Amino acid sequence: MSTASDLIYLDNNATTRVDPAVVEEMLPWLSENYGNPSSGYRFGQKVNAALETARERVAALIGSEPGEVLFTSCGTESTNAAIHSALAMDRDRQHIVTTRVEHSATLKTCELLAKRGHPVTWLGVNSDGQIDLGELERAITDETALVSIMWANNETGVTFPIEKIADIVREKGAVFHTDAVQTVGKIPFALRDMKVNFLSLSGHKLHAPKGVGVLYVNRRLKFTPFLTGGGQEGGRRAGTENTASIIALGKACEIAAQQIAHEATHVKKLRGDFENGILARVEGVRINGDPVNRLPNTTSLAFGGVESEAMLMLLDQRGICCSAGSACTTGQHEPSHVLRAMGYDDTRARGSLRFSFGRFNTPADVARALEIIPEIAEKVRRVAAAA
């Protein structure tokens, strides 16, 4: 077992380290400032004011009004809430359009809705991981309640042309939700310039703690709450707020807004050096997905002739954290649904690993990974060839 100090964390799409400045911001709200933000006395109202500052900080990062920011418990809840609300808008519009490469938060929810009788259209992707915009346009009908399409894929980093997609959906009169959990903090954008109705983000992918998220709800949209009960969040999301984590998320968004350009350059350089290093040192490696339209921090690599599960185990022993598919599917030996949707055969899908870089990675991490990974790949190939 490696110690934390020699850990090489290359799995920033699974979760990120909480930024020390975020921890510091959060601590008083876990200790002395424990008031309930819904209480009318000053001890509660002080907490409420801090929540509103957090809301403003999130809004500044995503280019929305603070009133369009709804705090939730995670990215998954945000996505569920968006889908639920869109289906509650009009009884005659119960059709959903989504893609085959979504995160399980959307995928499993839509599968469940399909079982309950909602018609669902699943858009496929090409070998670059891109959807066909003509097919999207044709899929939307007068009965379509919602189009839910992720902005950036968590496994491959491939980004969809979300502005164009939002325009198409608006033109056809349906509601549009995008899962931007992997986008926020990595790609700058302003929702006020876009035709997006709902957007989901998650704290822990952005150097805030786990268990806090945001659903952006465009102010012109009629919203039906997913969680009902108390009047928190302006009656749009019941349940006492996770105050410390929300305040932490606000701080994380403030830092992201300040550092986004610098950070994108930093992680892109690390990703590029890593990718080129692997391609130069290990034979038969291919990049999965569109190499141009993708996040700056992610690379999904197909190592020919290896089982990624075997690689993961040996890499873990050497302190390298990365993943095969998404964290949510680890433990199942199913090949990634994303790579399969891209038309890759099971061998390619099962031999693929995702490496995702972040704010706290260094060139030394890349150098160390480039020593270890080729050695492990060769070892796994030797064992496979002997079997």
Ligand X SMILES: *Cc1c(COP(=O)(O)O)cnc(C)c1O
Residues tagged active-site: 328
Cβ nearer to ligand X, comparing 74 with 341: 74
Q: Determine, following the binding rule CB under 6 A, whether residue 11 of this chain makes contact with ligand X.
A: no
Cβ 356 to ligand X shortest distance, Å: 10
- Cα separation of 140 and 9, whole Å? 41
| Dihedral angle, C-alpha 255, 261, 263, 267, nearest 10 ° | 150
Cβ 155 to ligand X shortest distance, Å: 9
Which are the contacts of 110, defined by CB distance < 8 A and separation ≥ 6?
83, 96, 98, 102, 120, 122, 148
Q: CB count, 10 Å around CB of 365?
A: 18
User: Which residue number is nearest to ligand X in terms of Cβ?
Assistant: 75
> Two tokens at 293?
């339209």
User: Which of 35, 37, 129, 213 is in the footprint of ligand X by CB under 6 A?
Assistant: 213
Q: How far is residue 289 CA from its own chain's centroid?
A: 17
Cβ nearer to ligand X, comparing 13 with 159: 13
CA-nearest of 141, 146, 142, 124 to 133 is 124
Q: Where are the beta strands (DSSP E) in the chain?
A: 8-9, 69-72, 95-99, 120-123, 144-148, 175-179, 198-202, 213-217, 285-287, 298-303, 320-321, 352-356
- Cα separation of 299 and 289, whole Å? 9
User: Which of 74, 215, 342, 377 is in the footprint of ligand X by CB under 6 A?
Assistant: 74
Cβ 386 to ligand X shortest distance, Å: 37
Cβ 120 to ligand X shortest distance, Å: 18
Q: What sign does the CA torsion over 192, 199, 235, 120 have?
A: positive
Among positions 135-154, residues that touch ligand X (CB under 6 A) are: 150, 154
Per CB under 6 A, the segment of 30-38, 42-50, 175-183, 234-242 that binds ligand X is 175-183
Cβ nearer to ligand X, comparing 213 with 289: 213
Q: Determine, following the binding rule CB under 6 A, whether residue 155 of this chain makes contact with ligand X.
A: no
Cβ 385 to ligand X shortest distance, Å: 35
User: Which of 35, 37, 75, 250 is in the footprint of ligand X by CB under 6 A?
Assistant: 75
User: Which of 11, 19, 25, 179 is in the footprint of ligand X by CB under 6 A?
Assistant: 179
CA-nearest of 321, 326, 325, 301 to 377 is 301
Site string for ligand X, 368-387 (x = CB under 6 A): --------------------
Per CB under 6 A, the segment of 83-91, 140-148, 179-187, 261-269 that binds ligand X is 179-187
Cross-strand pairs, 120: 96
Cβ nearer to ligand X, comparing 180 with 369: 180
- Cα separation of 240 and 231, whole Å? 9
Cβ nearer to ligand X, comparing 74 with 339: 74
Site string for ligand X, 189-208 (x = CB under 6 A): -------------x-xx---
CA-nearest of 237, 231, 232, 230 to 216 is 237
Q: Determine, following the binding rule CB under 6 A, whether residue 181 of this chain makes contact with ligand X.
A: yes
Q: Determine, following the binding rule CB under 6 A, whether residue 248 of this chain makes contact with ligand X.
A: no
Residues lying near ligand X in the complex (CB under 6 A) are found at: 13, 74-76, 103, 105, 150, 154, 179, 181-182, 202, 204-205, 213
